[in-house]
């Protein structure tokens, strides 16, 4: 469904600190659970942001269900992104001072849905992740695992078909890593596509993973599925 054709990404173009993070990537991502793996600096996160419509490639083409999206104006890219992708960031990035529920509802704000509808959906998602009891609490009181699950609830509040997570288990112990993999399996069962970056062998070997993309120095070394 998502394909990249000769995609490169250069940051700080024309400036002394110019850096090319990706070199001519050709890749197709099928439904299922895909993991981008590789050492830090290999371009995993940049690739994730391009796949997730967060940024536009410097050269090359990206298509989503056959439609070229790499040259869309930022506004439409954003609109596409918030309906199609949910993001979980490495540091989770919940907004402090707001309640868990308020945080989870944030991505829905620009879409103009009825407040009650969004709230019901957010509560259902929190419930399925075992956070129903903490919905009205400020996010500061959450533990590490709970914070991650709140971030997943926020990513899925618009019912996006694709969940994207950057290094989701970097800050988790083994028990919580397994819990995360259970959630991924559950999302998979719902029919969602999940795209992760990781260098955690436990993730790569895990049952729900359907494809592994190994990266190095901004190029794809190998795709296993």
Partner 1 sequence: MIFHTPILTLLLVSALAALVALWSAGFGLSVLRRWDLASCSRGQLMMERRTELVSTLFAMVMAAEAAALSLFIFNADRMAALFVGAMCAVGTLNVNGYGFPALYAQIATFFAAAVWLVLDHVDRLGRDYPLTRAKYAAVLAIAPLVLLSGGLQLAYFLNLRTDVITSCCSKLFTPANAGISDEMAGVDPATALWALGIAGGLVAATGIRALRSGRGHGLFALAGAGYFGAALVAMVSTIALYLYENPNHHCPFCILKPDYGYIGYAFYLPLFGATALALGLGAASPFAARASLRAPLPAVMRRLTLWALAGFAAYGLVTVWVILRSHLILFG
Partner 2 sequence: MSALNRQRALLDFTVAALARRRIKNLALVAVFATVVFLLASAMFFASSLRREAEATLAGAPDLIVQNLSLGRQAMIDAADLPKIAAIRGVATAEGRLWGYYYDRISGANYTVMVPSAADLVPPPGEVIVGEAVPRVRDFKWQGTPLFLSRHEGDLVRFDIARTLGSDVALISADLVLMNEVDFRSFFNVPAGKFTDLAVTVRNPRELSTVVEKASAALPDARFVTREDIARTYQKLFDWREGVMVALAFVAMLAFAIFAAEKATGLSAEEAREIGILKAIGWDTRDVIAMKLWEGGLVSGGAFLLGTVIAYAHVFWAGAPLFASVLKGWAVIYPDFRLTPAIDALQLGTLLLLTTLPYAAATVVPVWRTAAADPDAVMR
Q: Give contact residues for partner 1 (rule: CB under 8 A).
A: 13, 56-59, 70-76
Q: What's the count of helices (H) and strands (E) in the chain, helices before strands?
A: 7, 10
Q: How far is the CB of 75 from partner 2 (least distance, A)?
A: 6
Contact between 142 and 129 under an 8 Å Cβ cutoff? The reply is: no
Nearer to partner 2, 106 or 176 (CB): 106
The token pair at 21 is 């993070």
| Residues in 165-184 that interact with partner 2 by CB under 8 A | 166
The token pair at 39 is 């050492």
The token pair at 190 is 């719902």
Alpha-carbon distance 155 to 114, whole Å?
Answer: 19
Q: Largest alpha-carbon pair distance within the chain?
A: 52
The partner in contact with residue 59, picked from partner 1, partner 2, none with C-beta cut-offs of 5 to 8 angstroms by kind, is partner 1
- Report if residue 217 touches partner 2, rule: CB under 8 A: no
The partner in contact with residue 166, picked from partner 1, partner 2, none with C-beta cut-offs of 5 to 8 angstroms by kind, is partner 2
Alpha-carbon distance 80 to 161, whole Å?
Answer: 12
- Report if residue 55 touches partner 2, rule: CB under 8 A: yes
- Report if residue 10 touches partner 2, rule: CB under 8 A: no
The partner in contact with residue 71, picked from partner 2, partner 1, none with C-beta cut-offs of 5 to 8 angstroms by kind, is partner 1
- Report if residue 110 touches partner 2, rule: CB under 8 A: yes
Q: How far is the CB of 28 from partner 2 (least distance, A)?
A: 22
The partner in contact with residue 137, picked from partner 1, partner 2, none with C-beta cut-offs of 5 to 8 angstroms by kind, is none
Sheet with 85-88: list strands edge to edge.
85-88, 162-166, 193-198, 33-37, 211-216, 219-224
23-60 burial, b for 16+ CB within 10 Å, e for fewer? Answer: eebebebeeebbbbbbeeebbbbbbbbbbbbbebbbeb
Residue from 25, 108, 195, 212 binding partner 2 (CB under 8 A):
108
- Report if residue 67 touches partner 2, rule: CB under 8 A: no
Residue from 68, 115, 127, 202 binding partner 2 (CB under 8 A):
115
The token pair at 18 is 């110019």
Alpha-carbon distance 83 to 156, whole Å?
Answer: 10
Mask of contacts with partner 2, 69-88, x by CB under 8 A? Answer: -----xx--xx-xx----x-
Q: Which chain residues interact with partner 2 by CB under 8 A?
A: 45, 48-49, 54-55, 74-75, 78-79, 81-82, 87, 89-90, 93, 95, 97-98, 102, 105-115, 118, 154-155, 158, 166
């Amino acid at each position: 469904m998502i394909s990249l054709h000769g995609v490169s990404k250069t940051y700080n173009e024309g400036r002394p600190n110019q850096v090319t993070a990706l070199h001519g990537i050709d890749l197709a991502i099928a439904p299922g659970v895909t993991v981008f793996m590789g050492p830090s600096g290999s371009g995993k996160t940049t690739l994730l942001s391009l796949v997730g419509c967060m940024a536009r490639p410097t050269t090359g083409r990206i298509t989503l269900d056959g439609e070229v999206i790499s040259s869309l104006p930022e506004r439409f890219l954003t609109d596409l992104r918030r309906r199609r992708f949910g993001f979980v960031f490495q540091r989770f990035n919940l907004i402090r001072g707001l309640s868990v529920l308020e945080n989870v509802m944030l991505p829905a704000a620009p879409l103009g849905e009825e407040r009650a509808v969004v709230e019901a959906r957010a509560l259902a998602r929190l419930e399925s992740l075992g956070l129903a009891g903490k919905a009205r609490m400020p996010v500061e009181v959450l533990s590490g695992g709970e914070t991650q699950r709140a971030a997943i609830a926020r990513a899925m509040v618009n019912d996006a078909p694709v969940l994207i997570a950057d290094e989701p288990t970097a800050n988790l112990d083994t028990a919580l890593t397994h819990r995360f993999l259970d959630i991924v399996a559950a999302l998979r069962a719902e029919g969602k596509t999940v795209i992760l970056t990781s260098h955690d062998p436990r993730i790569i070997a895990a049952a729900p993973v359907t494809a592994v993309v190994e990266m190095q120095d901004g190029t794809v070394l190998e795709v296993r599925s």
